[in-house]
Each structure stands twice: as C-alpha cells, then as structure tokens.
Amino acid sequence: MVVVIFGVLGYLGVQYARKSVSNLVENYTDSKPAKFEVVQLPQEEANDLEQRVTAFQKALDSQGEQYELVLSERELNALVSKDPDLKGKLHARIDGDQIHGEISLPLQDIGPLKLNGRYLNGLATLKASVADGRLVVTVDNLQVNGKPLPANLLNELKKKNLAEEAMKDPEAAKTLSKLHSIEVRDSKVILRTKPKQATP
C-alpha cells in the first residue's frame, strides 16, 4: 500500500505541476490531515494474526508448499496501525472484490509546487494482482479532498502501474517475485505463495 500511496502522490504532483500550481493547491490539497480510526485487535486476535503473518513470511522464504494468508478489513487495518510509516495516513476498506484506500499524506514542496504544510486527503479504489512475478496495482477511481479527478487525468492514471517503483528495489522485487497471487474476494484480501515446483 505504501507503493500505491506514493505512486499516486508522485503522479498527481508531476501532472498538475505542468498545468496549474494554484489549482492543485486549492482544489486537491488540504490544510489539515484527515482522521482515521486506529484499529487495535483484542490480544488473542492480535496474537493469531501475528502468527499467521510470520508463517506466511516463512512460506515465502522457503518456497515450499503453497500457503495462503487471508486478511479481513479489520486485520489489514490493524497491520497498518502498527506500521509507523502508515499509521494515521491510511485506512483500507474492502467491499466485495474492491479495495478502497482512504489516504492522508503530509506533503513537501515538489519543484514549483509549494505544498509544505498541506495534506493530500483522498479515497482511491484499487486493483492489485501479481503477473509473472510482478506486482501490478492500478487505480479504478480516485477522489482527492472529496473531489473527483478530471476524466482525462483519471484515464491516464488508470494506465499506470503504481507498484512500478517497488519493483526497482531489489529486496522488494525479490519478495514480490515469490508471490503467486493476490485476490480480493468476499471482502477479504487473499495472498498466496508460489506452489512448490514438482521435481522433473
């Protein structure tokens, strides 16, 4: 999700810098951060989630039998709440086969864009998949500060893989290459490791 957030932020910044600095600042940023619920699971549920996440990481490293990690919306947000880089900046909502990500990011100046002290508050509908060992994250819809993006910009954004930068990080690419699939179904996120290859 970090990749998605900063991918959206970077793309928006570049596109609008070419068009209208004042329009971007006024219409697509806010002077205050949005406030999200901090999800904390009961201790027993938190322990169970930690064990499942640890087991999934071990399965990724060992590349043994295929392993699934199934996360509910509460569990996904509980993991976000424990991440110092994401806490207070992201809240995920899972509806059927779609992930909606509420974001609130403190901004910094980007070239001519004077954004220090401003916040990007938005709601994105995302699709995530794994294809040939590559994570692909695309935007279905995006509203920033309660306003829909212009259709031409949204159409361009839909063409972009927002996880492209993550694939340039050798460690991240190595981990992602071990994923077999990511599926959003029945309001749950399902991650699967690659199945063990049969010996010829």
C-alpha to C-alpha distance for 75 and 38, rounded to whole angstroms? 11
Quick check: helix, strand or coil at residue 108?
Answer: coil
Q: String of b and e for 82-102 (b: at least 16 CB within 10 Å)?
A: beeebebbbbbebeeeebbbb
Task: Give the Cα-Cα-Cα angle 132, 52, 179 (nearest 5 degrees).
Answer: 5
| Phi/psi at 65 (5° precision) | -65, 150
Of 121, 160, 120, 169, nearest in space to 140 by CA: 160
Of 198, 94, 182, 99, nearest in space to 134 by CA: 182
| Two tokens, residue 68 | 């699934």
| Two tokens, residue 22 | 């004042």
Can you give the pLDDT at residue 17?
Answer: 40
118 CB-contact burial (10 Å; exposed 0-12 / middle 13-18 / buried 19+): buried
State the 10-residue block means of pLDDT for the chain, 200 residues long: 41 42 66 86 94 90 85 91 79 86 77 75 80 75 77 74 70 77 89 70
- Answer for the pair 104, 128: CB distance below 8 angstroms, yes or no: no
Can you give the pLDDT at residue 199?
Answer: 47
Q: Which strands make up the sheet holding 98-106, listed edge to edge?
A: 90-95, 98-106, 119-131, 134-144, 147-148
Of 200, 194, 198, nearest in space to 67 by CA: 194
Model confidence, pTM: 0.73
Question: Which is it for strands 179-185 and 147-148: parallel, antiparallel or unpaired?
Answer: unpaired
| Two tokens, residue 177 | 């290459």
Note the pLDDT tens digit of each residue in 20-33: 445 656 777 788 88
* Cα–Cα separations (whole angstroms), residue 32 to 104, 121, 180: 9, 9, 40
Q: Hey, what amino acid is at 10?
A: G
| Two tokens, residue 50 | 């930690």
